Amino acid sequence: MKKVLWFRRDLRVHDSMLLATEGEVLPIFIFDTKILRGLEKRDRRVSFIFEHVLKLKADLKALGLDLALFYGTPFDVFTYLKTLGFDEVYGSVDYDDYAKERDAEIAEFMCFHSLNDCYLFEPHEVLKKDGTPYLVFTPYYRACKALYTQFYALEYKKGKQSLSNFNYSVLLGIQGHTLNPLHVTIESIGFEPLHVNSLAPQKALEIFTCKVDAYAEKRDFLDADATSHLSVHLRFGTISIREVVRFLVTLKQQGHTTEPFFRQLIFREFYAYLLYHFPRLAWENYKYAPPISNDAEAYERFCSAQTGYPLVDAAVTELLSTGLMHNRARMVVGSFFTKHLMLPWQKGEAFFAKHLLDYDASANILSWQWCAGTGIDPQPYFRIFNPYTQSLKFDKEARYIKHYLPILSDVPNACLHKEAYLLSHEITGYPKPIIAHESARKRFLNTFS
């Protein structure tokens, strides 16, 4: 049988489950018009993906293979491939709502093989004794550690494969029964090329070797580069989760402290696991019905980094200008959005989904529900981050704030952590706080109760 190898969240040749299959293969990547049509023409993710798809194509050629490129809906692409005699497709798992519907549609007329190449554990592997999914992270984490063996981090080697005959030199646009060969450029799919700054995954691992021991202590500090820079690579599979774990095992054997970072990798698994078992979390509250305001002005001020809260505005500016946001800042911003402004978490999630380079549906959705106090295993609804104490603790010298908000460069560092100063002083070009912290806290709690 001729097999289609559908690259999606696994844009690499090293340690690839797809490339471990054997026989006659057609490796493909689909620029899915259903996804692309909702994006802006300067979307960083499209440029990142396009660049890495071209790298994947070159890497496959070096192995004696190639990559067929398509522009259309997966349904139209596979309907066409079916006419060419392909009836088996292999693809890595994806648990968001659209991905599951898409794969189910293809599985109705193709033999679809799902490969667990994005995570260590499959959703039904880690269950409570009664067969139900865990709802709290710590017991889930303990269960994962008890289950984990070297098997979960084994490296997949390339199988014996022959390349199917196909025209690999074009980007094939497909709409219904119409075929339209296109030039292999990002402009052919309607987007503008952007350069996206990101460390290569191997370089990120190398640098992280010097950071891992202090990860637990420094990861929350906004003015310290203590994170791994691996999130975007794990999102798009330019590195395998197994390679990262093998890296940690080696570091642990050398005496490094690896548990805190491994725990974060399992948090990633937990959120994907929850979305798989509880798909309605994508749009529904699991617990509580938080007070909601539909203040359009507050929403616009948030989205344009004009709330008057320096840490919040710096974080939103980081997101808008780089496609990234520090994890500690994400928590503060999520709490501020849902509790200070009382805006629905779904709108915050959609805002992040629009701009995050490392956007992952499960991580983003569950993180926003955690901030709002509405999800599974959330922070308590009454826990409300104080952005001023957070910036004082994690950005004392205001380096992060002033980097992204140079308009505040002349304001004394200590004053950026003091609401009284921000409310009583005019700062040219920068607004006063949209609402006082204590007023916002009381308003939320009183409305909630």
231 is in an annotated binding site: yes
| DSSP state, residue 3 | E
Cβ partners under 8 Å of residue 96, min gap 6 = 275, 282, 361, 362
One-letter amino acid at 359 equals: Y
DSSP string, 326-375: -HHHHHHHHHIIIIIS---HHHHHHHHHHH-TT--HHHHHHHHHHHHT-S
d(CA 353, CA 319): 11
Q: CB–CB of 137/144 below 8 Å?
A: no
**What is each CA distance from 398 to 109, 157, 388, 421, in whole angstroms?**
57, 48, 11, 15
d(CA 323, CA 325): 7
**Based on the number of CB atoms within 10 Å of its own CB, is 260 exposed (0-12), middle (13-18) or buried (19 or more)?**
middle
Helix (H, G, I), strand (E, B) or coil at 394: helix
Helix (H, G, I), strand (E, B) or coil at 405: coil
228 is in an annotated binding site: yes
71 is in an annotated binding site: no
292 is in an annotated binding site: no
Spell 390-415 as b/e; 16+ CB within 10 A means b.
bbbebbeebebbbebbeebeebebee
269 is in an annotated binding site: yes
268 is in an annotated binding site: yes
Helix axes 97-107, 74-83, angle to 10 degrees: 20
90 is in an annotated binding site: no
Helix (H, G, I), strand (E, B) or coil at 298: helix
220 is in an annotated binding site: no
Residue 383 phi, psi (nearest 5): -85, 115
42 is in an annotated binding site: no
389 is in an annotated binding site: no
Helix (H, G, I), strand (E, B) or coil at 74: helix
278 is in an annotated binding site: no
271 is in an annotated binding site: yes
Query: Any idea which residue has 């999102």 for tokens?
Result: 235
d(CA 216, CA 244): 17
Cβ partners under 8 Å of residue 60, min gap 6 = 13, 27, 66, 67
Q: CB–CB of 186/50 below 8 Å?
A: yes
DSSP string, 37-62: TTS-TT-HHHHHHHHHHHHHHHHHHH
261 is in an annotated binding site: yes
Write out the E strands in 7-153.
Answer: 23-32, 68-72, 88-92, 111-115
229 is in an annotated binding site: yes
248 is in an annotated binding site: no
Q: CB–CB of 103/19 below 8 Å?
A: no
247 is in an annotated binding site: no
* Residue numbering of the annotated binding site for FAD: 215, 227-231, 261, 264-271, 358-360
* Residue numbering of the annotated binding site: 215, 227-231, 261, 264-271, 358-360
